[in-house]
């Protein structure tokens, strides 16, 4: 790991590591990147005919006073968090397992359970360098936290399951670690808990229909004050962390969560405020409108006309 003080932002990428990755992807034939494989075949299984390639690995530069990190997409999230921990920072990426990679997490686009407090994973991404369907290196976004220079294709890549381009390197926004992090649980009225505690900016609120789990981050006195409010609501037992999450995932409007107990079969765990539901059984998905479906298909065709990237997989 190197800590550099300057970052090249020249339009033409000369980084040999990325050039090697682009060469490996090449201009033709079905191809897909596999990360840690921790999330399973989301969006359909990859066509077995596809050549599997691996994104480069390694942390390129941590810049604590910029609150940014430049990292190869094949680096594990765990390794990145460890390295950032040494400078008192972290990135908002989901913890999907020890093998989970940065590129895999971004291609999946699933936000961490801390999204209520720290925002969705897509807002962590500043710049992506990826290899396109023609085997060329493309840059999108920029190295600074604030940037509105042209169309932001980072948005398109996050959650694209590798169907637009194959990520080689990303710049992510980092955050300072909070003073303390504490988890509490207890049986409580979820809606009342949400109303009372949400103005105090909890990081996570989970609910399984009976029990609520809350994560509080920040200054120890603020956390203690919020914990007092939680205790009044019945969320009064301090625990080490969140419960195990069921494997499947669905996104609902936060206002629709309250009816989940009556509509959801089997075990589930909902994130209050963000509307993400983790469920034991694969949930039915809502079909896209014809207009949105047409846009999705056209976009895929514009970026990968021959369908060689992650064949068999689609994000809709």
Partner 1 sequence: MNLGGSVNAMVLRRSRRASRDASGRHGPDHDSLVDDLVSVLGSDRVLTSTAALRLYGHDASTFRGDAPPAVCLPTTTDEVAAVVTAIRRHGRPFVARGSGTGLAGGAVPLGDAVVIATTRMDRVLSIDAEHRVAWVQPGVLNLDLTRQLRPLGFHFAPDPSSQQACTIGGNVANNSGGPHCLAYGVTSAHVLAADVVLPDGTVARLGGEAVEPSGYDLRGVFVGSEGTLGIATAVAVRLTPNPEGITTMLAVFDDLDAAAASVSAIIAAGIVPAALEMMEGGLASVVEDFCGAGYPRDAAAVLLVELDGPRHGVADDAERVQRTVLDGGARSVRTAADDAEREALWRGRKSAFGAVARILPDYYLHDTVVPRHRLVEVLAEVRAIAARHDLVVHNVFHAGDGNLHPLLLFDSREPGIMERVHAAGDEIVAASLAAGGVLSGEHGIGLEKRDHMAAMFSPVDLEHQDRLRSAFDPDNVCNPDKVLPSGSRCGDLSAVPDGVWV
Q: How far is the CB of 64 from partner 1 (least distance, A)?
A: 6
Of residues 73 through 92, those in contact with partner 1 by CB under 8 A are 88-89
Q: How far is the CB of 270 from partner 1 (least distance, A)?
A: 12
Q: Of 185 and 304, which has the nearer Cβ to partner 1?
A: 304
Nearest to 165 by CA among 176, 153, 174, 173: 153
Instruction: Say whether residue 7 binds partner 1 (CB under 8 A).
Output: yes
Instruction: Say whether residue 14 binds partner 1 (CB under 8 A).
Output: no
Q: Which of 52, 145, 209, 232 binds partner 1 (CB under 8 A)?
A: 145
Distance from the first to the final alpha carbon of the chain: 37
**Residue 185: strand, helix, or coil:** strand
Distance CA 248, CA 161 (A): 16
Which DSSP letter does residue 67 get? T
Instruction: Say whether residue 282 binds partner 1 (CB under 8 A).
Output: no
Instruction: Say whether residue 152 binds partner 1 (CB under 8 A).
Output: yes
Q: How does strand 166-173 pair with strand 175-176?
A: unpaired
Of residues 50 through 69, those in contact with partner 1 by CB under 8 A are 63-67
Instruction: Say whether residue 140 binds partner 1 (CB under 8 A).
Output: yes
DSSP characters over 190-231? HHHHHHHHGGG--SEEEE-SSEEEEEEEE-HHHHHHHHHHHH
Q: How far is the CB of 5 from partner 1 (least distance, A)?
A: 7
Instruction: Say whether residue 181 binds partner 1 (CB under 8 A).
Output: no
Instruction: Say whether residue 259 binds partner 1 (CB under 8 A).
Output: no
Q: Which of 144, 181, 208, 211 binds partner 1 (CB under 8 A)?
A: 144
150 backbone φψ class: left, alpha, beta (φ>0; ψ -120 to 50)? left
Q: Between 220-233 and 190-197, two packed helices, what is the crossing angle to 10 degrees?
A: 150
Contact present, 122 and 109 (Cβ < 8 Å):
yes
**x/- contact string, 25-54, with partner 1 (CB under 8 A)?**
------------------------------
Residue bearing tokens 């209050």 = 272
Interface region with partner 1, contact rule CB under 8 A, candidates 47-55, 98-106, 172-180, 227-235: 172-180
Instruction: Say whether residue 288 binds partner 1 (CB under 8 A).
Output: yes
Contact present, 215 and 181 (Cβ < 8 Å):
yes
Interface region with partner 1, contact rule CB under 8 A, candidates 32-40, 96-104, 131-139, 260-268: 131-139
Interface region with partner 1, contact rule CB under 8 A, candidates 8-16, 97-105, 231-239, 261-269: 8-16
Cβ neighbours for 70, distance < 8 A, ≥ 6 positions apart: 7, 59, 60, 61, 63, 143, 169, 170, 171
Q: Which of 79, 83, 200, 231 binds partner 1 (CB under 8 A)?
A: 200
Q: Of 57 and 307, which has the nearer Cβ to partner 1?
A: 307
Q: How far is the CB of 91 from partner 1 (least distance, A)?
A: 14
Residue bearing tokens 């969560």 = 257
Interface region with partner 1, contact rule CB under 8 A, candidates 27-35, 46-54, 94-102, 292-300: 292-300
């Amino acid at each position: 790991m190197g800590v550099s003080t300057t970052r090249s932002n020249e339009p033409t990428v000369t980084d040999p590591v990325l050039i090697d990755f682009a060469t490996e992807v090449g201009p033709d034939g079905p191809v897909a990147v596999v990360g840690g494989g921790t999330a399973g075949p989301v969006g359909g299984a990859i066509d077995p005919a596809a050549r599997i390639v691996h994104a480069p690995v390694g942390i390129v530069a941590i810049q604590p006073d910029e609150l940014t990190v430049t990292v190869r997409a094949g680096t594990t999230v765990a390794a990145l968090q460890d390295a950032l921990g040494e400078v008192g920072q972290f990135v908002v990426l989901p913890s999907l397992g020890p093998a989970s990679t940065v590129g895999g997490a971004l291609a999946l686009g699933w936000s961490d359970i801390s999204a209520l407090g720290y925002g969705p994973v897509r807002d962590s991404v500043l710049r992506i360098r990826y290899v396109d369907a023609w085997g060329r290196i493309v840059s999108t976004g920029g190295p600074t936290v604030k940037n509105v220079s042209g169309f932001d294709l980072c948005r398109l890549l996050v959650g694209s399951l590798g169907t637009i381009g194959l990520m080689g390197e990303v710049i992510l926004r980092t955050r300072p670690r909070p003073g303390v992090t504490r988890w509490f649980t207890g049986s409580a009225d979820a809606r009342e808990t949400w109303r009372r505690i949400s103005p105090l900016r909890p990081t996570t609120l989970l609910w399984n229909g009976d029990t609520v789990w809350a994560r509080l981050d920040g200054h120890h006195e603020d956390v203690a004050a919020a914990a007092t409010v939680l205790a009044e609501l019945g969320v009064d037992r301090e625990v080490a962390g969140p419960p195990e999450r069921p494997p499947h995932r669905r996104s609902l409007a936060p206002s629709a969560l309250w009816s989940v107990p009556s509509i959801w079969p089997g075990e589930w765990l909902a994130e209050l405020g963000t509307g993400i539901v983790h469920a034991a059984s694969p949930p039915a998905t809502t079909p896209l409108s014809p207009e949105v479906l047409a846009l999705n298909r056209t976009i895929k065709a514009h970026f990968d006309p021959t369908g060689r990237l992650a064949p068999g997989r689609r994000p809709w």
